[in-house]
């Protein structure tokens, strides 16, 4: 079922929360916040309406605050039925998109998953059919907020320890894993907003403990000078399987020695200090294709192809 327009969504929610077609007086603001969370999804509107029926305002406020952090378990249980019917490759595509790919160019997403061996032409088609993702306008993949939270909740349930989860996107979890060097071979992707963390040191073998790392994005959502790299004591990291690399303010003079130009589908290192990419490049033509225009400060000494 498609998402409902706002006034129809509010009417459906009110039928369950107030047993009438509109919110009770004094509950309009709360109901509006529920509309923002539910995004017109009928299942979400019905479950939340039934849960909040005849509850005090304090309960409404507490429930809404909690919804901003975690998916309602009843909604999760129903939506997860579609997820459980996917095969392993389709599940991986779904979790990658839910955790990392919102707003990414669909062509980059397809290339990334193809390089990961997930056959995205088939997998994404299946996800669209099951309404777990939607291809929106402007050639972008857009995740419905509710479905995005489903994917992230599935990852959270992988382990109580963030270092044993397959994907990390919350700055506090990533800061903990990188600061205390608790990463493991389970980690396949990291996306860190550096504007939300303070500077911290890195253990020299931090990334070598993550041999399955495919996606790495260190970016900043801030426009007030918080774009610098927040990590110190970084040495040559092991990125043998990385296919997507965005690192704002990359601090080293050269890219990781085992970063494969053949495997990369995207390379962005804006505001970097790079003087030379690699000591040698076997796949020179591939490298030229994936160096992104965002590397505007990269006046690099590109070695001759061998």
- CATH for 77-149? 1.10.10
H/E segment holding residue 290: helix 284-290
Is the Cα torsion angle 99, 250, 234, 212 positive or negative in sign?
positive
CA distance 79 to 81: 5
pLDDT, residue 200, reads 78
pLDDT, residue 236, reads 66
DSSP state of 24: P
pLDDT, residue 224, reads 62
pLDDT, residue 292, reads 46
pLDDT, residue 146, reads 66
Locate the domains of the chain by residue range. 6-69, 77-149, 159-290
CA distance 79 to 197: 33
pLDDT, residue 274, reads 74
DSSP state of 215: E
pLDDT, residue 295, reads 45
Residues of the chain with pLDDT under 70: 1-3, 68-75, 77-79, 81, 103, 129-131, 134-146, 223-230, 232-236, 277-306
pLDDT, residue 184, reads 96
Residues 79-120: pLDDT tens digits?
676 788 889 999 999 999 889 977 678 888 899 999 999 988
User: In the chain, at which residue ranges do the beta strands (DSSP E only) sit?
Assistant: 134-135, 141-142, 167-168, 189-193, 200-201, 215-219, 231-232, 244-247, 266-268
Cα distance between the two ends of the chain: 55
Q: Is 98 left (phi over 0), alpha (psi -120 to 50) or beta?
A: alpha
Residues 12-28: pLDDT tens digits?
999 999 999 999 999 99
pLDDT, residue 141, reads 37
Q: Is 138 left (phi over 0), alpha (psi -120 to 50) or beta?
A: left
């Amino acid at each position: 079922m498609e998402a409902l327009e706002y006034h129809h969504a509010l009417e459906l929610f009110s039928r369950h929360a107030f047993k009438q077609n509109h919110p009770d007086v004094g509950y309009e603001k709360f109901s509006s916040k529920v509309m923002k969370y539910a995004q017109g999804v009928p299942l979400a509107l019905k479950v939340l309406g039934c849960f909040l029926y005849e509850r005090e305002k304090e309960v409404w406020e507490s429930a809404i605050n909690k919804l901003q952090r975690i998916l309602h378990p009843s909604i999760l249980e129903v939506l997860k039925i579609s997820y459980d019917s996917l095969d392993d490759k389709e599940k991986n595509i779904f979790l990658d998109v839910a955790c990392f790919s919102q707003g990414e160019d669909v062509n980059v997403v397809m290339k990334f998953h193809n390089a990961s061996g997930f056959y995205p032409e088939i997998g994404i088609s299946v996800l669209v059919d099951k309404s777990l993702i939607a291809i929106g306008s402007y050639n972008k993949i857009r995740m419905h907020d509710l479905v995005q939270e489903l994917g992230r909740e599935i990852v959270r349930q992988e382990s109580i320890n963030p270092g044993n989860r397959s994907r990390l996107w919350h700055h506090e979890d990533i800061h903990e894993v990188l600061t205390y060097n608790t990463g493991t071979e389970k980690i396949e992707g990291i996306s860190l907003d550096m504007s939300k963390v303070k500077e911290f040191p890195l253990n020299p073998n931090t990334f070598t403990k993550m041999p399955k790392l495919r996606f790495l994005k260190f970016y900043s959502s801030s426009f007030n000078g918080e774009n610098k790299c927040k990590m110190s004591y970084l040495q040559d990291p092991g990125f043998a399987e990385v296919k997507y690399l965005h690192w704002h303010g990359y601090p080293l003079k050269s890219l990781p020695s085992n970063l494969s130009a053949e495997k990369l589908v995207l390379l962005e290192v804006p505001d970097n200090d790079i003087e030379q990419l690699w000591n040698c490049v076997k796949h020179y033509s591939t490298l030229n294709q994936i160096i992104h225009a965002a590397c505007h400060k990269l006046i690099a000494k590109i070695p001759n192809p061998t």
